Homo-oligomer: A and B are copies of this chain.
Amino acid sequence: MNLLEKYLTTRKLTENICQPLQTEDYVVQPIEDVSPPKWHLGHTTWFFETFILQANFNLYKDFDPNYNYVFNSYYETVGARVIRTDRGNLSRPTVMDVYKYRAYVDEAMVKFLACEPSEEVSNLLQLGINHEQQHQELLWYDIKYILGHNPLFPAYADENIESELKINVLNNEFSCIKAGVYEIGYNGDDFCFDNELGRHKVYINDFEISNSLVTNKDYLTFIEANGYQNFKYWHAEAWDWVNKQQIKAPLYWHLENGEWFRYGLSGLKPINLDEPVCHLSFYEAAAFASFMGMRLPTEFEWEVAASNFEWGKLWEWTESAYLPYPGFEKAPGAIGEYNGKFMVNQKVLRGASLATSPAHGRPTYRNFFHPHLRWMYSGLRLVK
């Protein structure tokens, strides 16, 4: 698939994800971390308009100069932006206008890419496509949050599109990895993010890592042993979080008449005990590991062991903080803001989820979130 095909396929997929939504669902922002779907549609388009068309295509005229203000996210280099908590207050541009904006930019991109782009533009296009794929994943998270926090619990789809979570559970067998110096980081020729680069050596001690993700059944033992009420399993600031936010179960879990339900994209359904537990914060993942007398893997252990087990259904919390690899360098200009500026106070997750673009399914991929967040498809695997 050439780059233009990749571009068009990606753009189409984003719209397909939104297809079942009502206009109203595109607009709301129930919490700061969740962006309105309309914003994702516009922001990913703004990326191509700003970094490719405006910068490289003389014939290009802006769709609307105000859109830079509305759809810039965190690129300080490129001017003022709507602060994140305000995104849900914007009824305009309308959903229809945003789709027109997408079509307008796509048409210009097709014209522009009729001539072979320079290598620099190709790289930017690659980045823009990967950027939009990342927002596709965020769209899933945010749509689920918006529908799952509505008192009417509307379904996104009738069929259970999350059903593939019922993966094989392998009796919790562990793989043993031997101590030694291993190479970490991306070393292929395809696209990867800057934070994966700088392949380098890491010394790793002997460890054993579970071949299965922790299941709802496993996690219920923690809930039923009053794990959420016992400080000894929790980090100090996790314990504050549990108490201030009154956390008692994973996100989307609801206890009704003594039975546990969870909201999924097909609606509110009873918990399936054999599914891997999902929508946990790092705080909860670490507390559960402590309860089990085990721990989470580091991101290096995970990468070294990844060929031993199936992965890709849920992002897996690691113990590792999100830090630069040796030799990490920011790209110059706005693109340089992509990853490096987030390298403090966040935790690495490894693997991929059912909402992840297959193009991102590589064992060196470094996802990252603050340790209290859990609206993404996050689970865990134990190490001893």
Contact = CB atoms under 8 A, between A and B. Distances in A.
Interface of A: 22-30, 38, 66, 69-70, 74, 76-77, 82, 86, 88-95, 146-147, 149-152, 154, 179, 181, 200-203, 205, 231-232, 234-239, 282-283, 286, 295, 319-321, 323-324, 326-327, 336-337, 341-345, 347, 371
B92 A326 contact: no
How many monomers of this chain does the complex have?
4
A307 B38 CA distance: 52
27 contacts: A22-B91, A22-B92, A24-B26, A24-B38, A24-B94, A24-B95, A25-B91, A27-B27, A27-B28, A76-B231, A77-B232, A90-B150, A91-B146, A91-B147, A91-B150, A200-B205, A202-B203, A203-B203, A205-B326, A205-B327, A232-B336, A232-B337, A235-B343, A236-B341, A282-B344, A320-B323, A321-B321
Given A22-B94, A319-B323, 6 more contacts: A22-B91, A28-B89, A92-B147, A92-B154, A235-B344, A345-B345
7 tightest A-B CB contacts, nearest first: A321-B321, A30-B89, A24-B91, A76-B231, A203-B203, A25-B91, A236-B341
Contact of A66 (B26, B152, B341): B152
A134 B354 CA distance: 48
Contacts of A74: 236
A375 B94 CA distance: 24
Contacts of A282: 344
Contacts of A238: 344
A251 to B, nearest CB: 16
Contacts of A150: 89-92
B149 A89 contact: yes
A66 B24 contact: no
A27 B37 CA distance: 14
Contact of A24 (B27, B151, B152, B235): B27
Contacts of A201: 179, 203, 205
A227 to B, nearest CB: 14
Most buried by B among A89, A238, A327: A89
A255 B371 CA distance: 38
Contacts of A235: 341-344
A66 to B, nearest CB: 6
Most buried by B among A76, A238, A336: A76
Nearest to A328: B295
A28 B344 CA distance: 32
A205 B203 CA distance: 11
B345 A237 contact: yes
